[in-house]
Amino acid sequence: MEHKKKKQAYILYLILAALFITSLVVSNLIFQKFFSWNFFGIYTFEISVGILPYPITFLITDLISEIYGKKKANLVVTAGIFASFFSLFIIYVSDMVPATSWSPVDDGLFSKVFGLSVIAVFSSMIAYLLAQFLDIRIYHFWKGITKGKHLWIRNNFSTITSQFVDTFSVLFLMCSFEVIEWSLFSKLLLSGFLFKLLVALSDTPFLYVAVHFARRKFNLKMAEEINLEI
């Protein structure tokens, strides 16, 4: 690949990595707000707003896996872990320092909004590790089986499986740490997984468009991956 194309591919990789890390960190910070959504009268979802940006991370890892390969996808996942724990450290320090008497946000309000973030990030990271590495492994397993064809198979099989593992794991840990009552476990598991399933199925066309664009942009053949190594 010529130098100019390789530079553009590297910039695209950095943009995808930035979107991935931002989605991951934000989902851990906003998780305490829950909302309900009536899906055309068929089913009423009761889910955390933290779930809204989270499916984006699986779409991005699938795209990176397809275009840049397993190694670069795992690298982004690892970077997300460090970013999440660094954000946790910042929140912890911010919670420890006392607010001034005139601060618009006092200590009590700050702790109420961000105080559970330590548990949330820990729980999310355990579930995140299991789900993301599983997603990448399953994706490349099906990519090998299909010889780079049938993108929808590896996209949906990997995402649906890993999303269930993620939803179950994070809710189990949240309930274990008494952040969420056990009586809500089954309802939130069903709502969370169905929502992620709906998103996983609906994001397949976007993945096809993104992969098609990348292949044309960088002149990639079927199943060919970009090597960013110098």
Confidence grade of residue 14 (pLDDT, cut at 50, 70, 90): very high
- Residues 47-91: tens digit of each pLDDT: 888 888 877 887 898 899 889 988 898 899 889 888 888 888 888
Q: What is the C-alpha to C-alpha distance for residues 65 and 226, in angstroms, rounded to an integer?
A: 10
| 23-54 burial code (b ≥16 CB/10 A, e <16) | bbbbbbbbbbeeeeeeeeeeeebebbebbbbb
DSSP 23-65: HHHHHHHSTT-EEEEEETTTEEEEEEGGGTTHHHHHHHHHHHH
| Percent of all residues in the chain with a pLDDT value above 90, rounded to a whole number | 15
Q: What is the pLDDT of residue 143?
A: 79
C-alpha to C-alpha distance for 151 and 195, rounded to whole angstroms: 21
Phi, psi for residue 35 in degrees, rounded to 5: -140, 165
**Quick one: average pLDDT of 120-145?**
77
Q: What's the average model confidence in pLDDT over 108-128?
A: 75
**pLDDT of residue 11 exceeding 90:** yes
**What ranges do the domains of the chain cover?**
3-217
Fold topology of 3-217 = Arp2/3 complex 21 kDa subunit ARPC3 (1.10.1760)
pLDDT value of residue 88 = 82
* pLDDT at res. 230: 55
| Average pLDDT along the chain | 84
- pLDDT band of 43, cuts 50, 70, 90: confident
Q: Which residue has the higher pLDDT, 148 or 37?
A: 37
Confidence of residue 226 (pLDDT cuts 50, 70, 90): confident
- Distance, in Å, from the CA atom of 75 to the CA atom of 229, rounded to the nearest integer, reads 13
Contact 68, 211 (CB under 8 A): no
Q: What is the pTM of this model?
A: 0.82
- Over 80: is that where the pLDDT of 96 sits? yes
